[in-house]
Structures are given as C-alpha cells and as structure tokens.
Structure 1
Amino acid sequence: MARKQLRSKRTFFAAPARDVEDVVGSGLCTGCGLCASIVGSAISMGINIEGNMRPLVRGEVAAGKNEQIMAVCPGVSIHGPGRPQRVPIHPVWGPMREIHRSWSSEPIVRQKGAAGGTLTALGRYLLTSGRVHAVLHVRADDRQPWLTISTISRTPDEVLRAAQSRYGPSSPLVNVHRLLDEGKRFAVIGKPCDTSAVRALGSIDPRVERLIPYMLTNFCGGVHSAHVAKAVMRHHGVDELDVVLYRYRGEGWPGPLRVQTRDGTIYDLPYPGAWHMGKFRYELPFRCKICPDGVGEVADISVPDGWILQNGKPVYGEAPGTNVAVVRTPAGEELLHRAVDAGYLELAPVSVEEIEQMHINHHRKAAASVALFALRLMGQRTIRALGYRTKDGLKRAGLRGIFQEFAGTVRRVLAGENREHLI
C-alpha cells in the first residue's frame, strides 16, 4: 500500500488542520479512533510506518462529517476543566477533589490488573451494579498480542480478562458510536486524550451526557511505537509469529515485561529496563511530547500507578500493587465511594508530595503551552488548548523549564519529528 507523507504548510502561524490527513501529517494525531467511529468505513485504523496507530481515509468523508471530526479531534483542540469552584487545583495535576491510594479488594484483580487493579475494579463494579451495560476499553490483540485493540466488555469477567497495562498504540474510541447507537449506558476507560475526545463529542452529540455517565483514565507518559515491541522480540531472538503472550508488565507490582512463545518458553525483561533499549526509549509520537494533559484532568477519576517509594525512589520489585485515585468530578466522587462500600476497592491516605515523587516525569506538562506556542511561531500546525491554567503552569515550570520546552520543540520540528505518514 502506498504510503503518502503529508507536510503541513510552513507559513507563519499556520492555519488549523482542515481534515484528518492534515492532523496526521502534522504529527498531531493521538490515534484514538474517534474519527473512524464518526464516519464508519470511510476511515480505518492501523499501524503506519512510524509504528503508530493512525487513520487511513479510504473513501469520501462528507463535509458535515469532516466538520464533526474537526470539532472533537484531540489533535485539533482539547479543553481542560479550568477552575472548578471549591476544588483544590494543582498546577500540574489539575482539580483534585479527593486523592487516595487505592487497590482492588479482590486479590486476583489486584494481581492481574495494572498496579493495584483500580480501573479494573471500577469497571467490574459498574457492570455488576447495573450502573452501565458495557465498558469500552482496550485489550491485547489475540492474534498479535504485542498490539492492542478496542474492546467492549459486558460482564465483570470480560473486564478482568482485558486487564493489564497496554503501553502500545491503540484506538479505543472506534466503537463509541456503535455503543451510542445501542442507546444503553456505558463507561469509557481510556487515555487522557481519549477522555478529552469523548468530552468534546458531548458538545455536538447530546447522547454522550445521557449514555456515558463515567469516564476513567490513567496518567499517560506517552504511547510507545509498535517498533518498541518488535525490538523487544528481536532482543530475545523471537519470531513474532511464535508469540502467544506479550505482557507489558507482570502480574504483581510492577513485574517484568514478558514474552511467551508457543512452546511455552518465557522471556522476561525487568521493569523499567524494558523501556531503555537504545534509541527505542525515544520512540514516542510527536503528539505525546507536546501533550498538555497527560494526567486526565477532564476524566471523572484519574488512576495512575501508586508507586511504592523508598528514600523517594520507586521500588520495582514484586509486591502487592497500588494505584492513586485522583477524583475530579462529583460523579467520580460518588462512584469511588460506592465501589468502596460495595467491597470492590480499598483506600488509604496519600499526599500530594508523594504523588510529586511518584510521577516526576509529568512535571514538564506545566510548560506544555510553550511547546504549542513554539509550533505556532515556526508556522507549524498545533493544538488549541483551553482551560489548562497557562499562567499557573508557566509559573510552576520556571524560566529553565520554559526554555527547555521551547528549545526542545524547535529541535524536534527541525528534525522533522512532527511529520508523519498515513498508513
């Protein structure tokens, strides 16, 4: 299949993206799949030459549909929560109505789920309680287990079978309109950019508010290219056709990256060493490097790892996992405590200072507005980001952080990192 490289026009203060091809070619696509959900077969999702999940336009996209896509695409604009009243607001972590350490009360869920299994437990509770009829999330691809596909779980056991961290590319939102058309309530568990896209969809589709009562997310440090998984398999000397299991983390805290072949042979890489394999540690899409919201500010609950710390540093050995539950909205607050009351979750205290130590890699988010401004100055297409308290973030980043973000963005553009291919 021909691979067409798209380049944004290099004009001062470049015009906003006009269509999906502009978004992809400017390096701004997140791969969420919402565009494919909106138009159906005219757009399909797949892995492109850079190893990222991206849309391919296969047919004509009507003007009205294109307008809808541009209104909700997180590669065009994202809208933060601003300053909700009577809610503590952190310059990096955003609104923090409540914060807790959290983990699943079910040992099997806590072991199999990412970190403490909090998102898995919430999904199971939502289905068991009848609050939703389905959960839209992701799972490992049965045929190519190093890849990740969108899935719809309708039972608690299906949620558990799909559990585990999935660091690779995925398009979780390709099934959003399928579920909206069913007319039944469902929850969305995705990355922060996915929840931003669904919130934006609610501004043009009134069914979202009625049918999607809960949006849950993690903290996202970026989506690794599929090339990383292939590099891991090459490192072990394994043919990808022989792989039957590719688990980005172990069962437990946090556990090794595991590859298993058809004959039962197991190959492990310790966490975090699996993410530092030569040049592949830098295999993040350009969009991830300029993301204004890796912490899920518009979700109802954000659930990052609750790193176990010793002397301020993470412990990577096996142990019962924990998460942090960052409650953003009244709906999230009510959900969290009902899940606790029903015996699905356990909570313990955690401080903002501990979260600061756990997720120091997210501190650069404070200066994300500088990266977006640098793109505009260089005549590159960029994201419109509103409601992320720019002044607070810049004050937190300081002059050094501002300079580093500006210089880093300029360097990436000059290196062509923001130019990407269609599939």
Structure 2
Amino acid sequence: MDKQNGVHRSRMAQAETIEEVVGSGLCTGCGLCASIAGPAISMGINIEGNMRPLVRQEIGRDKNAQIMATCPGVSVQGPGKPEGVTTHPVWGPMREIHRSWSSDPVVRHKAAAGGTLTALGRYLLASGRVEAVLHVRADDQKPWLTTSTISRTPDDVLGAAQSRYGPSSPLVNVHRLLDEGKRFAVIAKPCDISAIRALGRVDPRVGQLIPYMLTIFCGGVFSAHVAKAVLRHHSIDEQNVALYRYRGEGWPGPLRVQTHDGAIYDLLYPGAYQTGKFSYELQFRCKVCPDQVGEVADISAPDGWILRDGRPIHEEAPGTNVAIVRTSAGQELLQAAVAEGYLEVAPVSVEEIDQMHAEKIIRKAAASAAFFALRLMGQKTIKVSGYRTATGLMRAGLRGIFRQFAGTVRRVKAGENREHLI
C-alpha cells in the first residue's frame, strides 16, 4: 500500500493539464503545446507579462498526452554523461570548446555577441543542409515583443539577429515545418531545445527532419512589463515605437528604442537591467531551471566575455561567443562552418567559461534543491533526469543548496509561482 501510494504521489507531483502547468508557474511559454494542438490553443501575453497558452476548445486525450510528454514544465531529460565525452558538472558535455565569432564583420557587429548562431544559421541554409531555420525576431507591429519566425534564406537569418530577452513562443511553428516534410534547424532557448528533444521521443519526424539544434546560455525570460517600463522611462508612446533592440550593433551593444520620427534612446548594458527601474522580472520557471546552458543542444553559444582580473567586463569590443560543442552532429557542423569561412575560432579554457558565467553555476548546480522545496510544500514540480544531480550539488556546496532551497520557499510563499492563462 505504501509503495502504491508513493507511486501515486510521484505521478501527481507533475502537472497533468496545461492549466496546471501554467497555474503552478512551470510554463516556459515555448509554444509547443500550441504547435501540437493547432487552433485549440493560442499563445499570448498574460497579466503577469509572460507568454502563455490559451485553451480555446477541448484538446482531446491523445493531444493532451503528447503535450504532457513533451512540455518542459512537466519533465526534462538531460544528456547524463555521454561515453567518451568530457562532461563538466555544470556546463555538461564538451566535445570541443572555443571562442568563436562570425567571419563576416557585418554579421559580427549586428549580432548580440560574436554572431556565432547567426553565422551557423546562414551557413546551414547557404550549404543546403537545411531548407529553413526556426528561431525568433522582433514583432513587426510591437517591436518590444518577440515572435516566432521561419527563415528560408541567409539574409532572413541576419534580419532576425540580435538578443530578444522578453517572452516568446519560438516553437509554435514546429509542426507547420514538420508537416512540410523539409529539413530545418532550430535556434532557441535551452528549454525550447529540451522540448524538441522530448518531441523527438514521441514523433519520429523530429529525428528525420531536425538535424541541428542550437542554443545560448539563458539568463531567464523576463516579463513584457520590463519593456513597457523602459518605454515609460523614455516617455515613448507604444504606437510610436519603430525599433526595440535589447542588444546588438556592437558588443554588448545598448538597449535601444527608436521612434517612427527617428529619435533614438539608449541604455547601456548591463546597467539597463540593474537600475531598479528595469530589474530582471524573471518568470518563476526560470528561477528553478535545471538547464540554463543547453546541454541537450548540438552547440551552445553564450557570450564569450572578455575577462579582467577573473571577472567579465562589459566594455564595447568586437563580439565573441563561446562555442560549446556537445554532439557529433554539432562537432561536424562547427568544423564545416569554420572550413567554409563562416566562423573563426580561438582557444578558451573551462576556467575562463567558469569566470565568464559564474552567476549561472550555483542556480543550475543546485536546481534539484528547488524541486525538493516544491515537493515539500506540496507544489507541482518538474521530473528531471540526466543532469547529474549528485555532482551538481557537490559543486553548489551547502551554501548554494541552502540559497536555492530557501529562495524557492520564499518565492512560493510570496505567490510568485501562481500564474494565469491569457
């Protein structure tokens, strides 16, 4: 009886409907549910300023089962420790690591950092390896928002370059492309890549048609309210916004707002997000994320910050990324892009990556402490496997474990995990 009850409680710890995923603060806003269910679900911004689904009609048992099997607010599966591959306790599998940047100075300057992902997307299309790239770009009508886009030419990829820190649903178009039967690549956040990998376990077309999945290191998705606060700070009417760029046109580049009459308003990175007025208003799911670094992607390409005295500096400079190659497909792709003149690379060490992205180490390493806190408090949680929990906790240390545990308890008590559908 106890064993049966234990199994029952474990099963019930995960959400069983979209409403439960959203209501418990575990939705990432990726849009895969809308892609699976078609017109029965649409995506939009809820009152918390996050991208969330709206269930418009009955989904059906089979569709709901597929959504729950692939939703990164229900479960995520990491790579574990692939045989023959160096696996860092936090950064995950590392077949190769490099500093990297686009060989094209125009791409390098326009992109958010060194343009590595933009260059790879352009190369994939130019070489005919894929027929489309699924990613995101600024919304045409409301440039402070972000929309899913399908690029079919190298110029399309470049036109959508630059950071989009706000909410987005890149995966709403996945089934549209799968139904076309054409090969395509996905460039998206780590949680989005996890969702695609999960979809591949229930839909064989993923393995046949999506040969490359590329990502960033993610600092979390913050609310659309942050962008609105920036517009208010500059006294800009929403209807007068022609451009809203989080980063780009230099490295790290300013947060720039441009109006239809040509006025330009800049805020420098990272101070634009550390003034109190525009502080990171992250969705709850990001604060307990088990994988901010894209371990299940083929290549992760975060900023390759320049270091001074072991700390990253944010002075304007020619942009660079770090390219962390995780799979054999990613390894072959990176080497081909370098050989074809799309990318340049230079040495980088694991110790430098630790210093560049130190703020991510504790939160990722101690993510399991957050899920333990959720279970103790009777909250819905995420089923996590393949992320080397024991080695992560050892890296986080007692202080890091306590910080993540206590922070999660505080956030739940404050109601940060209670959210609404659209």
TM-score range, shorter chain: over 0.9
1:322-341, Cα deviation, whole Å (9 max, x unpaired): 00000000000000000000
Map of 1:153 onto structure 2: 151
Map of 1:289 onto structure 2: 287
1:332 aligns with 2:330: yes
Q: Distance in 1 between matches of 2:278 and 2:64?
A: 35
1:372 aligns with 2:363: no
Given candidates 52, 64, 67, the residue that maps to 1:66 is: 64
Maintained 8 Å contact 2:89/2:395: yes
Instruction: Give the gaps of 5 or more residues in structure 2.
Output: 1-7
Given candidates 196, 214, 219, the residue that maps to 2:194 is: 196
Give matches, 1:173-322, under 5 Å: 173-278=171-276, 280-322=278-320
Maintained 8 Å contact 2:111/2:248: no
Q: Distance in 2 between matches of 1:221 and 1:361?
A: 9
* Cα drift, residue 312 of structure 1: 2.1
Three-state SS of the structure 2 residue aligned to 1:278 is coil
Map of 2:51 onto structure 1: 53
1:146-203, Cα deviation, whole Å (9 max, x unpaired): 1000000000000000000110100000000000000010000000000000000000
Maintained 8 Å contact 2:99/2:322: yes
TM-score calculated relative to the size of structure 2: 0.96
Give matches, 1:375-394, under 5 Å: 375-394=374-393
Q: Distance in 1 between matches of 2:162 and 2:280?
A: 23
Three-state SS of the structure 2 residue aligned to 1:152 is strand
Three-state SS of the structure 2 residue aligned to 1:281 is coil
My pick for the range that moved more, 327-336 or 267-276, is 267-276
Maintained 8 Å contact 1:102/1:345: yes
1:41-95, Cα deviation, whole Å (9 max, x unpaired): 1000000000000000011101100000000000000000011011111111001
Three-state SS of the structure 1 residue aligned to 2:279 is helix
Tell me the number of residue pairs that the alignment of Structure 1 and Structure 2 aligns: 413
Residue 98 to residue 166, structure 1, CA distance change in 2 (3 Å): same
* Cα drift, residue 281 of structure 1: 1.7
Give the residue type in structure 1 aligned to 2:235.
G
Q: Distance in 2 between matches of 1:274 and 1:155?
A: 33
Maintained 8 Å contact 1:12/1:377: no
1:193-236, Cα deviation, whole Å (9 max, x unpaired): 00000000000000000000000000001001101101111111
1:257-301, Cα deviation, whole Å (9 max, x unpaired): 000011111000011011123264241000000000000000000
TM-score calculated relative to the size of structure 1: 0.96
Q: Distance in 2 between matches of 1:317 and 1:357?
A: 16
Q: Distance in 2 between matches of 1:268 and 1:377?
A: 45
Map of 1:39 onto structure 2: 37
Maintained 8 Å contact 1:218/1:302: yes
Identity of aligned residues (%): 77
Instruction: Give the gaps of 5 or more residues in structure 1.
Output: 1-10
Map of 1:420 onto structure 2: 419
Residue 280 to residue 375, structure 1, CA distance change in 2 (3 Å): farther
1:82-128, Cα deviation, whole Å (9 max, x unpaired): 11011111111001111000000000000111200000000000000
Maintained 8 Å contact 1:250/1:258: no
Q: Distance in 2 between matches of 1:231 and 1:390?
A: 38
Give matches, 1:108-147, under 5 Å: 108-147=106-145
Q: Distance in 2 between matches of 1:191 and 1:114?
A: 14
CA RMSD after TM alignment: 1.1
Q: Distance in 2 between matches of 1:12 and 1:198?
A: 27
Three-state SS of the structure 1 residue aligned to 2:49 is coil
Maintained 8 Å contact 2:42/2:53: yes
My pick for the range that moved more, 267-276 or 305-314, is 305-314
Map of 1:7 onto structure 2: none
